[in-house]
């Protein structure tokens, strides 16, 4: 596995060479590497947790907030989940060579549009050590080499996890450089990676708006943003209020630091007097800091609700804070979501198919839910296996970035001597 002891350019050169080997690797070889990696994760769980503890200690000393600490933390259960996830990826169909479309032309040419690896993928991510394994496994299975660049907050954890990949790849004859880790560099290293034209085929950043903006400023290679999640739950006037309470609570509280957690609750004015006095105390009891508009505060009862600022409606809080607004209509809710959201995941709670359809048609997001929590926007939950992140853009891939999203297509045309007249 290449490391930052080499230049970024040299790492990318080796990754490009490795990608050509990996693109031709048979499925059983790739799967054998993944199963070997999963076994190593299981047997070395104690070592991984010990390495992670060093990052957690350093993070607390540096004052990382609890949401970041949660994303950084590896527990026995989370380590086991990583191994399970790698095995699930091994069981998934290999997308490489899959025929997306095929047809025969009048002149007898057989045309096939088939999936092929992208080549070299750079994955840039913040304090999420599980991404090291998810990204490596997904890229190996989809025939891509990957250059990983984690954050300094998870450096010890990432090094320990990447070391297991280093051992697994050569065990089945795949090149170490198929998975490379950059570490120890600052923002200039990110800039170098983002300008490796001809070597890096795609960069996927997994982090907040700061990371996204840093890449936008320098990138010369394509970037697929797995970016911010300012997600909404809207409760329509005909909603089952008990269902609405469960969904809104789950979307905010179940794991508040992740990108598919709800940051804003919108409630139709006709049900606000019934729903908010019951729901807001539950959220507050769970530690959620509440801010809202005037009508929300008027329906809050004894619960403290601060005045929401313009910035609050546009913010992914990454923690236990939520903005709450009362709206006049379904159209107003859709307008609010499209104006303030990030196009990630948004939900409506309604008893009407017509209202559900209007919301799903009108909201311009990668995942739109009717009567379900936004927390399901996830490769595992969608039955796709692990993911590198969730794309909020529209070209190439949108939503969970899984195996097929890590491939492109090429046309394979077979003939028997045809020439163009």
Whether 394 and 85 have beta carbons less than 8 Å apart is answered as no
CB 252 within 8 A of CB 261: yes
* pLDDT confidence bin for 2, thresholds 50/70/90: very low
Phi, psi at 265, each rounded to 5°:
-110, 125
State residue 54's pLDDT score: 96
Could you tell me how many residues make up the chain?
Answer: 421
The mean per-residue pLDDT over the stretch 79-97 comes to 95
Summarize the confidence of residues 25-35 as an average pLDDT: 98
pLDDT of residue 207: 75
Task: Quote the percentage of the chain above a pLDDT of 90.
Answer: 81
- Please report which confidence band the pLDDT of residue 1 belongs to, taking 50, 70 and 90 as the band edges: very low
pLDDT value of residue 388: 86
Cα–Cα distance measured from residue 379 to residue 370, given in angstroms and rounded to the nearest whole number: 19
Query: How many Cβ atoms are within 10 Å of 159's Cβ, its own excluded?
Result: 19
Could you tell me if 363 and 337 are in contact, meaning their C-beta atoms sit under 8 angstroms apart?
yes
Name the residue among 286, 325, 280, 279 with its Cα closest to residue 303.
280
CA dihedral sign of residues 66, 245, 357, 340:
negative
pLDDT of residue 43: 97
The pLDDT tens digits of the residues spanning 173-201 come to 999 999 999 976 677 898 999 999 999 99
Q: How far apart are CA 101 and CA 31, in angstroms?
A: 26
- Computed over every residue of the chain, the mean pLDDT equals 93
Report how far residue 138's alpha carbon sits from residue 123's, in angstroms, rounded to the nearest whole number. Answer: 11
What was the pLDDT predicted at 333? Answer: 98
What is the 8-class DSSP label of residue 343?
S
Backbone φ and ψ for 122, nearest 5 degrees, come out as -95, 125
| Residues 355-384, mean pLDDT to the nearest whole number | 93
Burial 184-204 (b: 16+ CB within 10 A, else e): eeeeebbbbbbebeebbbbbb
Secondary structure of residue 6 in the 3-state scheme: coil
- What SS3 state is found at 356? helix
SS3 271: coil
Least-confidence region, from 220-229, 329-338, 352-361: 220-229
Show the CA angle centred on residue 259, arms to residues 258 and 265, nearest 5°.
Answer: 100
pLDDT tens, 112-152?
Answer: 999 999 999 999 988 889 999 999 999 999 999 999 999 88
| pLDDT band at residue 111 under the 50/70/90 scheme | very high
Q: What is the DSSP string of 123-148?
A: EEESS-THHHHHHHHHHHHTT-EEEE
Q: Looking at residues 164-175, what average pLDDT do you find?
A: 96
Percent of the chain with pLDDT over 70: 98
Is it the case that residue 384 has pLDDT exceeding 90?
Answer: no
Query: If DSSP codes are grouped into helix, strand and coil, which group holds residue 402?
Result: coil
Cα–Cα distance for residue pair 61/55, rounded to 1 Å:
10
**What mean pLDDT is predicted for residues 308-334?**
96
| Among candidate residues 153, 149, 147, the one with its CA nearest the CA of residue 70 | 153
The more confident residue out of 325 and 214 is: 325
The pLDDT of residue 184:
67
pLDDT at 76: 96
3-state SS assignment for residue 5: coil
Contact between residue 232 and residue 336 where contact means Cβ atoms under 8 Å apart = yes
Contact between 377 and 366 (Cβ < 8 Å): yes
Which domains can be identified in the chain, with CATH numbers? 8-227 (3.40.605.10), 231-376 (3.40.309.10)
């Amino acid at each position: 596995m290449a490391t930052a002891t080499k230049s970024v350019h040299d790492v990318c050169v080796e990754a490009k060479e490795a990608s050509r080997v990996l693109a031709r690797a048979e499925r059983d070889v790739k799967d054998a590497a993944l199963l070997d990696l999963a076994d190593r994760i299981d047997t070395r769980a104690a070592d991984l947790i010990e390495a992670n503890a060093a990052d957690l200690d350093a993070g607390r000393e540096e004052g990382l907030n609890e949401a970041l600490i949660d994303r950084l933390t590896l527990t026995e259960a989370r380590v086991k989940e990583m191994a399970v996830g790698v095995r699930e990826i091994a069981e998934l169909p290999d997308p490489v060579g899959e025929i997306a479309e095929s047809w025969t032309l009048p002149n007898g040419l057989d045309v096939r549009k088939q999936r092929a690896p992208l080549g070299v993928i750079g994955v840039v991510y913040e304090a999420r050590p599980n991404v090291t394994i998810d990204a490596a496994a997904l890229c190996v299975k989809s025939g891509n080499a990957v250059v990983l660049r984690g954050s300094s907050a998870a450096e010890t954890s990432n090094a320990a996890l990447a070391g297991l990949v280093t051992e697994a790849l050569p065990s089945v004859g795949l090149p170490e450089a198929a998975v490379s880790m950059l570490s120890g560099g600052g923002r200039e290293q990110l800039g170098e990676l983002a300008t490796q034209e001809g070597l890096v085929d795609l960069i996927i950043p997994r982090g907040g708006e700061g990371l996204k903006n840093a890449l936008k400023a320098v990138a010369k290679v394509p970037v697929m943003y797995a970016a911010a999640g300012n997600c909404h739950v809207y409760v329509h006037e005909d909603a089952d209020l008990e269902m609405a309470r469960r969904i809104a609570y789950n979307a905010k509280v179940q794991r508040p630091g992740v990108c598919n957690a709800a940051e804003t609750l919108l409630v139709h004015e006709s049900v606000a007097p019934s729903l908010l006095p019951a729901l807001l105390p539950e959220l507050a009891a769970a530690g959620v800091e509440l801010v809202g508009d005037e009508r929300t505060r008027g329906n809050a009862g004894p619960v403290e609700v601060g005045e929401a600022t313009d910035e609050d409606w546009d913010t992914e809080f990454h923690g236990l804070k939520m903005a709450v607004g009362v709206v006049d209509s379904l159209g107003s809710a859709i307008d609010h979501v499209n104006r303030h959201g990030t196009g990630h995941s948004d939900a409506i709670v309604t008893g009407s198919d017509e209202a559900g359809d209007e919301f799903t048609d009108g909201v311009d997001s990668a995942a739109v839910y009717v009567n379900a929590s936004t927390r399901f926007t996830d490769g595992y939950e969608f039955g796709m296996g692990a993911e590198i992140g969730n794309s909020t853009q529209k070209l190439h891939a949108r939503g969970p970035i899984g195996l097929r999203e890590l491939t492109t297509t090429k046309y394979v045309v077979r003939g028997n001597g045809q020439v163009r007249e």
